[in-house]
């Protein structure tokens, strides 16, 4: 960034709000027109000028901002409420509620359950009341009959499909409901759903009841839809077997995917670069109480002999900025001194950027 058109006091360019709020001196009309460029020399920030008008902490923060390169393109406005500077409706929407007490949706826990994604989405729809039972379809003028296609005289609500329907009862009778959640079947629909989804009970074969429960209501709905929309369709002869098999197969597959890799011992000592190569090690540090950041690095040859090094006090920032500064200064100041191919040792946290 070259800061030609950026107002020093009136633009939010330093990431800490408008600098006029931190000014250490009274600001005249003319001073308010100063640009960021006015505080830069050919070699970076003009520290003397900055310290005359701002407190030390803000100056330190500015020092951790790179002043850019001559060949760089001009500055442009970015959206400050997203990480990548691009506008998103979501970030704008959330900004309206910043600091407000938002009551979380009571079904958010669904996404943390250990369930197949399609089952999570399914119970999320149930939590929103978005399952198109015949009662819902009648409200949307999609049918004139709100009743269950099996029980005929009873309205098909979500409660009916998953609990009261003769078909749901048949499935439940074959799948042994654990004693600890039996009482939930006499409670209201949402309490019943929540208790069974939050249950920690394990069935034989290490099957979580939550998985079997969710698989049973998902299959219940699937078979109900097939019976209505595919004439001649017959549900599997042994529904509980299908549900338990579905649950255990998914659990087995999921356990394989989530299996922890075996521990591997790695050597962390410094190793020599191969003949005629050079190795550059860089590192950054950040003090969490003051957020002061520093960077350092050194260049060695294939005998391990010191070529050159640096250590620098950058200013105020976070650990990622410290690591990036160490990388930048290492390549900029030391990399050019390597007289052969250069091997770079960076810190793992940079690889996550
Ligand atoms: Zn029914």
Regarding whether 195 and 155 lie in a shared domain, the answer is: yes
Task: Per-residue pLDDT tens, the chain, 353 aa: give them.
Answer: 455 678 899 888 887 888 988 888 888 888 888 988 888 888 889 989 999 999 988 999 898 888 877 666 677 777 878 777 888 888 888 887 776 666 667 888 899 999 999 999 999 999 888 899 999 999 999 889 999 988 888 899 999 999 999 888 888 888 888 888 889 988 999 999 999 999 999 988 889 999 999 999 999 999 999 988 888 888 888 888 899 999 999 998 887 666 676 777 877 778 888 888 889 999 998 888 888 999 999 999 889 899 899 999 999 888 888 999 999 988 888 878 778 888 887 766 555 55
Regarding whether 287 and 231 lie in a shared domain, the answer is: no
Against a cut of 0.85, is the pTM above it? no
Regarding whether 202 and 112 lie in a shared domain, the answer is: yes
Whether residue 270 lies inside any domain: the answer is: no
Structure tokens at 215: 């698989």
Regarding whether 151 and 246 lie in a shared domain, the answer is: yes
CA of 208 to the centre of ligand 1 (A): 27
Which of 60, 95, 130 delimits the end of a domain?
Answer: 95
CA of 56 to the centre of ligand 1 (A): 73
CA of 58 to the centre of ligand 1 (A): 69
CA of 246 to the centre of ligand 1 (A): 24
Regarding whether 231 and 324 lie in a shared domain, the answer is: no
Number of domains in the chain: 3
Whether residue 264 lies inside any domain: the answer is: no
Whether residue 100 lies inside any domain: the answer is: no
Whether residue 262 lies inside any domain: the answer is: no
Regarding whether 132 and 250 lie in a shared domain, the answer is: yes
CA of 97 to the centre of ligand 1 (A): 43
Q: Is residue 332 exposed (0-12), middle (13-18) or buried (19+ Cβ within 10 Å)?
A: exposed
Regarding whether 241 and 133 lie in a shared domain, the answer is: yes
Q: How far is CA 185 from CA 30, 163, 182, 208, in A?
A: 75, 8, 6, 18
Regarding whether 126 and 80 lie in a shared domain, the answer is: no
Whether residue 74 lies inside any domain: the answer is: yes
CA of 152 to the centre of ligand 1 (A): 7
Regarding whether 234 and 158 lie in a shared domain, the answer is: yes
Q: Supply the DSSP symbol for 260.
A: P
Domain assignment of residue 45, given as a range? 19-95
């Amino acid at each position: 960034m070259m800061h030609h058109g950026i107002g020093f006091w009136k633009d939010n360019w330093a990431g800490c709000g408008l600098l006029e709020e931190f000014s250490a001196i009274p600001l005249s009309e003319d001073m308010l027109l100063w640009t960021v460029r006015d505080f830069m020399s050919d070699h970076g920030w003009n520290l003397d000028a900055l310290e005359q008008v701002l407190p030390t902490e803000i100056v330190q923060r500015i020092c951790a901002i790179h002043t850019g390169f001559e060949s760089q393109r001009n500055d442009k406005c970015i959206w400050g409420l997203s990480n990548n500077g691009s506008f998103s409706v979501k970030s704008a929407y959330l900004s309206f509620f910043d600091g407000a007490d938002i009551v979380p949706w009571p079904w958010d826990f669904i996404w943390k359950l250990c369930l197949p994604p399609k089952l999570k989405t399914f119970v999320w729809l149930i939590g929103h009341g978005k399952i198109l039972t015949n009662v819902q379809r009648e409200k949307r003028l999609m049918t004139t009959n709100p009743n269950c296609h099996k029980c005929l005289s009873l309205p098909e609500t979500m409660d009916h499909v998953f609990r009261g329907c003769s078909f749901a009862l048949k499935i439940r009778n074959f799948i042994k409901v654990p004693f600890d959640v039996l009482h939930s079947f006499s409670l209201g629909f949402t309490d019943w759903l929540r208790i069974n989804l939050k249950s920690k009970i394990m069935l034989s074969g290490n099957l979580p009841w939550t998985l079997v429960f969710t698989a049973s209501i998902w299959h219940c709905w699937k078979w109900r839809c097939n019976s209505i929309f595919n004439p001649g369709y017959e549900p599997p002869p042994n529904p509980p077997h299908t549900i338990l098999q579905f649950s255990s197969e998914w659990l087995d597959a999921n356990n394989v995917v989530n299996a922890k890799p075996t521990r591997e011992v790695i050597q962390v000592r410094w190793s020599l670069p191969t003949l005629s190569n050079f190795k550059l090690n860089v590192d950054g540090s950040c003090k969490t109480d003051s957020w002061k950041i520093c960077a350092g690095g050194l260049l060695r040859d294939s005998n391990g002999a010191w070529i050159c090094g640096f250590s620098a006090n950058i200013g105020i920032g976070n650990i990622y900025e410290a690591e990036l500064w160490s990388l930048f200064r290492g390549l900029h100041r030391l990399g050019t001194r390597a007289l052969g191919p250069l091997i770079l040792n960076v810190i793992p946290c940079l690889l996550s950027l």
